[in-house]
Structure 1
Amino acid sequence: MNPFMWSLLYFVLLLFSEVAHATYHLRAGDPQLITAQSYAQTRQNGQPMFRTLNPAKTDSPCRSRPLDLVFIIDSSRSVRPAEFEKVRIFLANMVDTLDVGSDATRVAVVNYASTVKIEFLLKDHFNKLDLKKAIARIEPLATGTMTGLAIKTAMKEAFTEQSGARSRSRNIAKVAIIVTDGRPQDQVEGVSAEARATEIEIYAVGVDRADMRSLQLMASLPLEEHVFYVETYGVIEKLTSKFRETLCGVDPCAMGHDCEHICINSNASYYCKCRNGYVLNADKRTCSLKQVRAEVVEDPCKCEAMLAFQKQTQAAIQQLTDKHILPVVPIEHLENMLGRA
């Protein structure tokens, strides 16, 4: 083989080796390659890396903690109809991951563009089917991006007890999830701080052209747990698994308990309960059969006692008469005598 053919063969083998090496690292999750792929998510210089998306679903046994949850969704002109449909799918998928109910998680949706529309309140729907039907009816509002006004409306009108939010004494977490693809046309820093001061936890989801600085100003701390970014609406539904990890809490009863009869979940803890007919012991976990006390009802006039005495006397006299120990005397006459006694 001439020198040219040897050189060509060496080059081909070298190229094959490089391709195989790159393929291996891509499959293995090479950090350098992942960083390169995520570069589009941090287009603004100096901005910290936020959560990257993992489309893999979580199968850990958990149930969502009770929430008063308000979605604040951007439906401005930049959100095309097909993209807004992706937002509706995302909301419906989120509902599926939650324990929805009047005593569990309540959901509301605030829709905004240049104006703000509350699509439905926390008190309106307490089951998943009704919620998803209501979500399917949401239409985009078309123009403007008044994000600050939307946050203020949610705080003043959606997170109130009149609208279905639970009282502070119930210790139910209040959560807002903002989804936007643009730069706000009004101020968001002050109103977001005011909302957070009322104990509303804010998650900010940016899509495509979303302004990263604005997302940071809206979100609660720590930012790395409350700011998300996706490049297109086409992958926004993959955020569902991330929010499931964030919003759901471990079911203490499912993870193991020491209750003899029934385990009841209570936020992040649990308490024990007994079946009917049993009472909870002082150790708060075991149960004992309920003791039934026989109550003696006092007869004020002694009537029942007198009747019982008469019946016993009649029976005794009848036995003596049958044995010919006493003369035959009509029972009625004895009753009269007993009555006079």
Structure 2
Amino acid sequence: MKPFIAVLLSCLSFIHLVDISDCYNVIYPSQILAQSYAQRRNYANPSNTRIPLRTLNPAATDSHCRSRPLDLVFIIDSSRSVRPGEFEKVKVFLSDMVDTLDIGADATRVAVVNYASTVKIEFLLKDHLKKQNMKQAISVIEPLAAGTMTGLAIKKAMEEAFTEQSGARPKSQNIAKVAIIVTDGRPQDQVEEVSAAARASGIEIYAVGVDRADMRSLKLMASNPLEDHVFYVETYGVIEKLTSKFRETLCGRNTGWGLLLV
């Protein structure tokens, strides 16, 4: 009789443990290399159960889809905190993103704004209308070193990179305007007002922070809803995993989108 009771109690304990584990999404940080800010927030709050996990799919980044034409400006942080090897990974990410897009005069046009203490427009929307030329231009970009003037970079992109003189299409064509900034730190200038002005001008912003990025600043820069526009990756080593996420966004939507990587 005693062995029977022991077996019964063991079975009941096993069933109880299964029920408990089924009530929670158990997330191990080592298994999630890149995740949205909303996921990071929910993971920190054990009261949030059954949160749908939006992990970034590490699928091949050279898959191609037909996307709606965009005027897309990458704004990349090359301050001192971004090590040379990390900056190279950012450039690989940009190149992979270009591979997923339809590039051309009547398709997506791309510009790159490089910033630290100063801001440098590496090339304009009108400069490269073929993928190979664009990827070559990305490959030779050099870091600028000191400072993190993110607000200044957003302002220069809005006032100079997104103009018709620089290759942006007129509003009458209804081409979505996109900004992408990459940074791992805290801006040394104000970003709230200039970001609001950029959004008001029609630029949708996705904010992606890396490593030590200041989450409050990301939220000030990003478009609403924040859970869809703020992302975080733990290191530059996994930033390329964002490519498939934004490829899905491009292929799955008929409206404009934007990305701000900071």
The two structures have a TM-score, normalised by structure 1, of 0.61
Q: Does the residue aligned with 1:32 lie in a helix, a strand or coil?
A: coil
For structure 1, which runs of at least 5 residues remain unmatched after alignment? 1-13, 251-266, 269-341
Alpha carbons of 1:144 and 1:61: their partners in 2 closer, same or farther (altered >3 Å)?
Answer: closer
Residue 175 of structure 1, CA deviation: 0.5
2:175 counterpart of 1:175: no
What is the identity, as a one-letter code, of the residue corresponding to 2:247?
A: R
Q: Name the counterpart of 1:222.
A: 225
Q: Does the residue aligned with 2:205 lie in a helix, a strand or coil?
A: strand
User: Aligned partners of 1:155 and 1:71: how far apart in 2?
Assistant: 12
User: Aligned partners of 1:35 and 1:134: how far apart in 2?
Assistant: 36
Two-structure CA RMSD over aligned residues (Å): 3.3
Q: Name the counterpart of 1:233.
A: 236
Q: Does the residue aligned with 2:26 lie in a helix, a strand or coil?
A: helix
Q: Name the counterpart of 2:5.
A: none
Query: Is contact 1:146-1:185 (8 Å) kept?
Result: yes
User: Aligned partners of 1:43 and 1:77: how far apart in 2?
Assistant: 32
Shift >4 Å, 4+ stretches? 34-46, 48-51, 57-61
Q: Select the residue among 171, 178, 197 that pairs with 1:194.
A: 197
Q: Select the residue among 66, 70, 82 that pairs with 1:63.
A: 66
* CA deviation vs aligned residue, 1:198-228 (integer Å, no higher than 9, x gap): 0011111100000011001101111122111
User: Aligned partners of 2:43 and 2:155: how far apart in 1?
Assistant: 27
Q: Name the counterpart of 1:32.
A: 26
Residue 42 of structure 1, CA deviation: 4.6
2:89 counterpart of 1:82: no
Between the two proteins, the alignment pairs up a number of residues equal to 230
Alpha carbons of 1:127 and 1:69: their partners in 2 closer, same or farther (altered >3 Å)?
Answer: same
User: Aligned partners of 1:93 and 1:167: how far apart in 2?
Assistant: 27
* CA deviation vs aligned residue, 1:278-325 (integer Å, no higher than 9, x gap): xxxxxxxxxxxxxxxxxxxxxxxxxxxxxxxxxxxxxxxxxxxxxxxx
2:124 counterpart of 1:121: yes
2:144 counterpart of 1:150: no
User: Aligned partners of 1:242 and 1:181: how far apart in 2?
Assistant: 20
Query: Bigger radius of gyration, 1 or 2?
Result: 1
Alpha carbons of 1:176 and 1:51: their partners in 2 closer, same or farther (altered >3 Å)?
Answer: farther
For structure 2, which runs of at least 5 residues remain unmatched after alignment? 1-9, 256-262
What is the identity, as a one-letter code, of the residue corresponding to 1:136?
A: S
Q: Does the residue aligned with 1:33 lie in a helix, a strand or coil?
A: coil
Alpha carbons of 1:148 and 1:45: their partners in 2 closer, same or farther (altered >3 Å)?
Answer: farther
Alpha carbons of 1:58 and 1:162: their partners in 2 closer, same or farther (altered >3 Å)?
Answer: closer
Alpha carbons of 1:72 and 1:58: their partners in 2 closer, same or farther (altered >3 Å)?
Answer: closer
2:94 counterpart of 1:100: no
Residue 52 of structure 1, CA deviation: 3.8
In terms of mean alpha carbon deviation, does 165-174 or 31-40 score higher? 31-40
Q: Which has the higher contact order (CA 8 A, sep 6+)?
A: 2
Q: Does the residue aligned with 1:119 lie in a helix, a strand or coil?
A: strand
Residue 58 of structure 1, CA deviation: 8.4
Query: Is contact 2:113-2:120 (8 Å) kept?
Result: yes
The two structures have a TM-score, normalised by structure 2, of 0.78
| Percent identity over paired residues | 75
Alpha carbons of 1:61 and 1:235: their partners in 2 closer, same or farther (altered >3 Å)?
Answer: closer
Q: Name the counterpart of 1:318.
A: none
